[in-house]
Amino acid sequence: MRAHEFWLEALPFYQKIDRTTEITLNVGQQMDGQLLPNIPVWYRHFDIITGAGLRSVKGELGRDPAGYVKLKTSGIYAIGYESTKKIVDLEPEKFTHYLNNKGLEKIIKRRLELNESKKNGLEIYYRNVKALIKVGDEPELNFYNYDFKYPLNINPFQNPYELTQGDELQVQLTFNQKPAANLLLHAKIKNTPSFEFSIRTDAQGLATVPLKQKGIWLLHTVEMIRSEQQGVDWESYWGSVTFEIK
């Protein structure tokens, strides 16, 4: 069993002022997968941060691409999407395999302590994702490290659009606004299925990603906690951020 990644893409990530940028919702593997339409009951928030503050991403019901933005001021903009909850019920072996794949060995250990290793994994999950885009040539606004206050956040410490191939990008992962230590962060590049990089965050939730190639990058991770909701054992939060390196 392979859990699917979820991410936002901008068409394009580099855009001219006062031009329409389409925003797609994507689910799949290695940045290759299915495009999802705009279904408002699927999300809590689908927003962009601008000089005037947060505003909803425009979109049409059932439409793919799910949204579009048109910006009149140059800058680095962040687009965020927070899903509503979904539920999954996995057989014990499949659940354990999925936990291993996402670096969640702590949950395997906790299930053993709770004598639940042979029990199905009943889980609700949420998507906390964002995309960073560049509009115009000389940014007047800079929201590359904007935090939408979703439960799980991947926050770049540098502006990716000031970096190039060979540079390093430091990020901090937070969960409920606190540093998320020992999470497994994955990096992917669109149309480069042979590339994959993974690193654990340190005690401060920090990780450094070497930008070895040009292209559209996806950084993603998963956090899981014991659920306090009735009838559910676990809650997982899937975070990602996308941007393009030229």
Closest CA to 181 of 200, 199, 203: 203
Closest CA to 149 of 167, 130, 124, 168: 130
Residues 216 and 190: beta-carbon distance below 8 Å:
yes
pLDDT higher than threshold 90 for residue 13: yes
Q: What is the pTM of this model?
A: 0.96
Give per-residue pLDDT as tens, 181-237.
999 999 999 999 999 899 999 999 999 999 999 999 999 999 999 999 998 999 999
Structure tokens at 217: 């990058």
Q: What is the DSSP string of 85-114?
A: PEEEEE-HHHHHHHHHHTT-HHHHHHHHHT
Give per-residue pLDDT as tens, 115-173.
999 999 999 999 999 999 999 999 999 999 999 999 999 999 999 999 999 999 999 99
Residues 44 and 82: beta-carbon distance below 8 Å:
yes
Q: Average model confidence (pLDDT) for the chain?
A: 96
Instruction: State the sign of the Cα–Cα–Cα–Cα dihedral 94, 205, 238, 37.
Output: negative
CA gap 235, 123 in Å, rounded: 6
pLDDT of residue 1: 39
CA gap 126, 181 in Å, rounded: 19
Residue whose token pair is 């000089």: 51
CA gap 73, 136 in Å, rounded: 8
pLDDT of residue 20: 98
Q: Name, in order, each residue with C-beta under 8 angstroms of 113's C-beta and a sequence gap of 6 or more.
A: none
Give me the percent of the chain exceeding a pLDDT of 90. 97
Give per-residue pLDDT as tens, 15-51.
999 999 999 999 999 899 999 999 999 999 999 999 9
Give me the percent of the chain exceeding a pLDDT of 70. 99
Structure tokens at 61: 């019901």
What are the CA-CA distances from residue 97 to residues 107, 159, 214 (Å)? Answer: 12, 35, 32
Structure tokens at 187: 């990096």
CA gap 224, 153 in Å, rounded: 14
Amino acid identity, residue 151? Answer: P
Q: Name, in order, each residue with C-beta under 8 angstroms of 199's C-beta and a sequence gap of 6 or more.
A: 184, 185, 207, 208, 209
